[in-house]
Amino acid sequence: MLRNSDNQDRLRHHHADLLIKGGMVATPNGLEMTDVACLDGQIVSMHATGWMADDVIHAKGLHVLPGVIDTQVHFREPGLVHKENFEAGTRGAVLGGITTIFEMPNTSPLTITGEDLLGKLEMATGKGWCDFAFYMGGSDANAERLAELELLPGCAGIKVFMGSSFGDLLAEEDEVLSRILRHGKRRLAVHAEDEARLRERRAIVEASGDVRDHPVWRDEISALRATQRIVSIAQACGRRLHVLHVSTADEMAFLAQHKARVTVEVLPQHLTFCAPECYERLGTLAQMNPPVRDAHHQAALWEAVRDGTVDVLGSDHAPHTLAEKAKPYPQSPSGMPGVQTLLAVMLNHVNQSKLSLERLIDLTSAGPARVFGIESKGRLALGYDADLVLVNLSTRCIITNQSMANVSGWTPYDGMQVTGWPIATVLRGRCVMRDDEMIGLPSGRAVRFLEVPRLVVRQ
C-alpha cells in the first residue's frame, strides 16, 4: 500500500522511484522482456511503458529475478564476531543477490527468549544490508513458551537441533522433542542427525584423525534415523516440519513419501562438492554437518531437486576462522561460508543444464516465501516488495577468497570459475549493490509473516 498522497500522485502520473528497463523479467506469466516500475518500496507496474523514474537501471542483456531468500545463515552475532558479524554477513548476502535472510539461534547468548530476540532485532537495525528474521531455538528450557515466542515480530519460526549443538539448544530425546512440537503451530525447522549414534561413532575419527572419515562418522544412518524420528513425532503432534540440509539418498526417498506436511531444504555445497575428492583437496575446509557425501548421494539430491521433493535452497552460511579450521581433525569445527556464493554457484549449475532457471527461482524465492508464509516477498508481482536481483547468465567470474565479505575471509569455492553472476541487487525499490559495489547505507528491516503480528516501528 502506497504510504502517502504524494506517492499516489506519482503513481497516477507514472513517475516511479526506480525503473528497470529492457530486462528479461521473471514475471508471474514466465520470462518476458519488459520494464518494472518500483514506488515506495513496492512493484507498481510490470509493463511500465511510458513511465519516468528518479533512478533508471538499463537491464538489456540481463535477467531480472526475485531477490533470493536465504532461510539458513549463521551470522554469529552476538558473541562470536571474530568469525562473522551481522553487517559483514548481510553485505555478503547483498553482494550475492540475496535480499532476505533468516539467522540461526546458536549465538552467544542463545536465542531462546523474547529478550534474546529483541536484542538481535535491535542489533540488526542499522547494520543489516538486507531484510532479516531470526529463528527462536526450541529446547527443553523453553518448550512450553514456544507457542507465544514463535509469534513475536521478527521471529522466523522455531529451529530444533537434534544433533550438532550444545547446552540448551541440543534436543535429542523424544520426550523433549514432543514437548517442543506440541507448543506452537508454525512450520518448525530441524537439523536431523542422531546424537546418540554420533557419540557412539566418534571413536572412528578420534582414532583416524582423517577428515575423509567425516561422512563415515556422521553416516547416512545417523541422518535417516533422526529424520524418521522427527517426522513420526511431528505426525503424532500434528505439526508441519522443514527438514534442513538433507544430504542422503535414504532421507530423500523417505521424505518423498511425507510431502503433505514436510518440506525439504538442500544446500549448494551438497550439490556441488563430492567425497572423497573435496576432502582430499580442501581438507577441513570441506568439513560441515551433515557432511558432504559421495556421488551416489549427490545424484539422489539432484533427482530430488528436479522431481519437486526439494522445496528450498539455503546456504547454511557458517564461517569459522582459518586458524580454527586448521586445528587437527576432529577438533576442527564444522561449517563453511556460503551466503555470498549461493546464487552464483547455482547459476553455474543452470548453465550446465542441471536445472532450469525457473526451477532455481522457485527454490530460492517463491519456495521460501511459500514454506514460511513470508508476506509480500518471493515473486515479482504487483504490490509485492520490490526485491530484485539482476543477473548476467553469460558473465564468467572466478570466485576468490579476496572477494568475500565474510569476517573469516575465505570460501570453499576459492578459484572456481562460474558462469552467471549477480550484477545488481535491489532491496524494496532501492539499488543497494551494483557491479560488486555497495550503494548507500544499510536499510534492512524485519521480515513480516502472514501468521505473525506486524512489528510496530516508532516513527
- The CATH number linked to 61 is 2.30.40.10
Residues 52-72 pLDDT 10s:
999 999 999 999 999 999 999
> Is 158 a member of any domain?
yes
Residues 372-384 pLDDT 10s:
999 999 999 999 9
Residue 144 in grid coordinates: 512450553
Ramachandran class of 154: left when φ > 0, alpha when ψ lies in -120 to 50, beta otherwise: left
Clarify whether residues 56 and 74 are in a common domain: no
> Is 449 a member of any domain?
no
Cβ proximity of 156 and 209 under 8 Å: no
> Is 410 a member of any domain?
no
Clarify whether residues 28 and 84 are in a common domain: no
- pLDDT band for 437, please (50, 70, 90 cuts): very high
Residue 353 in grid coordinates: 543444464
- pLDDT band for 457, please (50, 70, 90 cuts): very low
Clarify whether residues 104 and 248 are in a common domain: yes
Among the options 35, 70, 311, 316, which is catalytic?
316
Clarify whether residues 429 and 340 are in a common domain: no
Residue 438 in grid coordinates: 555497495
Does the pLDDT value for residue 455 go beyond 60?
A: no
CA–CA gap between residue 97 and residue 106 (Å, rounded): 25
Clarify whether residues 162 and 115 are in a common domain: yes
Clarify whether residues 298 and 434 are in a common domain: no
Q: Which residues form the domain of 230?
A: 66-372
pLDDT at 97: 98
Report the CATH number at residue 278: 3.20.20.140
Residues 416-434 pLDDT 10s:
999 999 999 999 999 999 9
What is the rounded average pLDDT for all residues in the chain? 95
pLDDT at 170: 84
Clarify whether residues 84 and 151 are in a common domain: yes
> Is 408 a member of any domain?
no
Query: What average pLDDT does this structure show over 236-241?
Result: 96
Clarify whether residues 146 and 292 are in a common domain: yes
pLDDT at 459: 34
> Is 378 a member of any domain?
no
CA–CA gap between residue 294 and residue 290 (Å, rounded): 13
DSSP string, 269-327: HHHH--TTHHHHHHGGGG--SSPP--HHHHHHHHHHHHHT---EE---B----HHHHTS
Q: Any idea what the Cα angle at residue 407 is, between residues 404 and 410, rounded to 5°?
A: 45
Cβ proximity of 36 and 67 under 8 Å: no
Does the pLDDT value for residue 361 go beyond 60?
A: yes
Order of strands, sheet of 262-266, starting from the edge strand that comes earlier in the sequence: 68-73, 98-103, 131-137, 155-161, 188-191, 241-243, 262-266, 312-313
pLDDT at 13: 74
> Is 453 a member of any domain?
no
pTM as predicted: 0.96
Clarify whether residues 123 and 208 are in a common domain: yes
Our answer to whether residue 9 is catalytic in this structure is no
Specify the higher pLDDT residue, 191 or 1.
191
> Is 336 a member of any domain?
yes
Residue 51 is given by DSSP the state -
Clarify whether residues 153 and 261 are in a common domain: yes
> Is 236 a member of any domain?
yes
Specify the higher pLDDT residue, 452 or 136.
136
- Please state the domain count of the chain: 2
pLDDT at 131: 98
- Count Cα neighbours of 65 within 13 Å in the Cβ-side half-sphere: 32
- Pure H helices in 151-240: 174-181, 195-208, 214-217, 220-237
Clarify whether residues 326 and 424 are in a common domain: no
Clarify whether residues 422 and 306 are in a common domain: no
